[in-house]
Structure formats: C-alpha cells, structure tokens
Structure 1
Amino acid sequence: MVIAHMSDRRLRVHMPLLSGPWDRAAYDRFIMVKTRYWARDGLGHWAIMCDGVYVGWGGFQKEGNDWDYGLVLKADCFGLGMAITRKALEFARADPRIPHVTFLLPPTRTRLGALKRIGAVFDGPVMHDGGQFLRYRLETGANDATIFPDPATG
C-alpha cells in the first residue's frame, strides 16, 4: 500500500526528494531510516489511518534543533490534511520537547492559506537534502512551564 502510494505521479510531482522508482527496496530503506529516527529521538512518522484504512503517513522528524512536521497523504485523501494536522499539532503542543514546528513545503505547493490560518509564519526558502523547499514555522508553546509544572513547586 505504501509502495503504490509513493509511486503515484500526482504525489511525486510535489516531492522534491522523491527520485527513482518506489519499489520494495526503496520502501525497505524508508522504513529503516524512519525506524532510526524513532530510536534516536523517541518520535517520528506514523502510518495515518482513517476508519481503519491507510490514507498516508506523517508526523514529526527531528531536523537539527527543529521538529519538522510532514504529511504525505494519498491523492484521494488530500481533503483530510487539516484535520490530521490539527491532531498532530495538539500532540506537539502537549509534548515539552517540541517548542515549535517547522513545515518544509515544495515550491509547487501554492495553496498556503491553511498554514497562515493556523499561525505558521514564512521563514524563507531553504535547501534540504538537495531539494528546495518553502519553510514555515509555528510556535507551539510546548516549552511553556505552565503545561508541565515543576512537581516540587506545584
């Protein structure tokens, strides 16, 4: 299911880092890398399910000092993006490790109103792993001491 998803030409046009065929070997490398992020950071990407059906993958990946949020949905599930993103951001706001979230979007992404509505601010164009992206940043408030008060002081 992931191999078919990542092979969809409608998706590939918007993924600057996706090159070559997405076959079983590419899938195995992808899972190996994502598993390493989970082991290193205690957080990573999830398979996204809706009513028990796979609709895509996404989550948080540590990139330097930033937690980057990515969401890659199947083309017929694009309409679920904001609902899934809201849930993910609830998670980020409750996690003291995530004071802000970055979003790296391909330059082909032209509909950006939803990011602005949730408070993300354009941080400029960036190169990442050889691909060009538009970077947005959203403060989560997760490092606010009132979220997880010191038990010694109440």
Structure 2
Amino acid sequence: MTANDGQMEFPMSTKIIFTQLSEVEPGDILAHMCDPKVAEHMPLLTSNWDMNAVSKFVATKEECWKRDGLGHWAILADEDYIGWGGFQREGDEWDFGLVLKPDAFGLGIRITRKAIDFALADERIPFVTFLLPPSRKNLGALERLGAQFVNKISYDGSVFLKYRLNTER
C-alpha cells in the first residue's frame, strides 16, 4: 500500500471482507467516526461520538440483522478495519450506505460492487437505493454501476440525492 493524496492505494489482491460490527474493536469505530473528513459527507452526524455512542450504534445495527435478516457490516481490507456499510430497510426499500475511513475512499467502488453482487443474489432486494449528500460531487462510478438519479429528498431534516439501482434479473 502506498500513499496517494491522503488515500492508500490498495492492490487488486486486497481481500475485502464483510463481517459483523460487533467483531471490530469499538475504539476503531470511534476513531473512524470522529474523523472530520468522515463528517464532511454525513449531514446526519450531528453529535459527538464516544464509547457509549459506539455501543448504541453497534447494537442498533445488530438489531437490524435480527429484525430484517440483513444490515450493515464492518468492512475489512485484508483484516484491517476500513469502515462500515451495507443495506438498511427503509419502508419497502433497501438503502445501501457506505462509510469508509478517508484513506480507504479509493476502495468504495470495489466494496459497492461486492455488496451489489450480494443484492443481486438476494431475491428480497428488487432494487437498491442510495442517499447521497449534495457534498458528494463525484457520482460517475455510481452511474456506471447503472444507478439512476430519482430526485432530491429530505431525510431527517437534511437534503439527499436519491439514486436507484435495479437488481432484479
């Protein structure tokens, strides 16, 4: 791995692993969520994180797995924690979210493709939605995946760009 503008370059041989958030050291999640570069693209991140917030976050995400049979994963690059993401049920839709450490931003499309492959194989997911803050300017990769812009929506008082990707075969 070599540095490139604050991001690490990961070789194609880097193994992307999805695991449960409860398998990650809470301090790693705390450091990740306290990074100001992460907060730049998370308008709903309005409170300071501490170990109690990490515990509540992990418990909430684990509850989604119990309730829906699907949820957010911790994401590892060769065994190193680099972020979290996955699917969350929002009414009748499955929304995909991804929050990476800044030095792993370059892995976003590889991780998203792996998650979309998971969605393609799951008949419960006829389509995936993506809610992106307007601060995200580089949307070409999402469009190359086949996602189409739906509209701007308000969610919890913040504006997001909503995209949809059909996953039915």
TM-score of the pair, normalised by structure 2? 0.82
The answer on 1:131 being equivalent to 2:161 is no
Taking the aligned partners of 1:57 and 1:42, their CA distance within structure 2 comes to 17
- 1:91-130 mapped onto 2 (5 Å cutoff): 91-130=118-157
Q: Pick the aligned partner of 2:48 from 7, 21, 30.
A: 21
How far residue 33 of structure 1 moved from its aligned partner, in angstroms, is: 1.3
The runs of at least 4 consecutive aligned structure 1 residues that moved more than 6 Å come to: none
How far residue 127 of structure 1 moved from its aligned partner, in angstroms, is: 1.3
How far residue 130 of structure 1 moved from its aligned partner, in angstroms, is: 2.4
Aligned partner letter, 2:44: L
Gaps of 5+ in 1: 145-154
Taking the aligned partners of 1:100 and 1:47, their CA distance within structure 2 comes to 22
- 1:6-85 mapped onto 2 (5 Å cutoff): 6-85=33-112
Taking the aligned partners of 2:34 and 2:96, their CA distance within structure 1 comes to 21
Taking the aligned partners of 2:130 and 2:33, their CA distance within structure 1 comes to 19
Deviations 1:107-147 (CA, angstroms, capped at 9, x unpaired): 10011001111110001111112222110000001xx5xxx
- The CA RMSD over aligned residues, in Å, is 0.8
Aligned partner letter, 2:57: F
Larger Rg: 1
Taking the aligned partners of 2:98 and 2:128, their CA distance within structure 1 comes to 13
- 2:167 alignment counterpart: 140
Taking the aligned partners of 2:46 and 2:68, their CA distance within structure 1 comes to 26
How far residue 36 of structure 1 moved from its aligned partner, in angstroms, is: 1.6
Question: How many residue pairs end up in the alignment?
Answer: 142
Deviations 1:33-56 (CA, angstroms, capped at 9, x unpaired): 112211110000000001110010
Percent identity of equivalent pairs? 58
Taking the aligned partners of 2:50 and 2:134, their CA distance within structure 1 comes to 26
Taking the aligned partners of 1:95 and 1:133, their CA distance within structure 2 comes to 26
Deviations 1:68-126 (CA, angstroms, capped at 9, x unpaired): 00110000000000001110000000000000000000110011001111110001111
Aligned partner letter, 1:112: L
Where 1:72 maps in the other structure, the secondary structure is strand
Taking the aligned partners of 2:159 and 2:63, their CA distance within structure 1 comes to 24
Gaps of 5+ in 2: 1-27
- 1:148 alignment counterpart: none
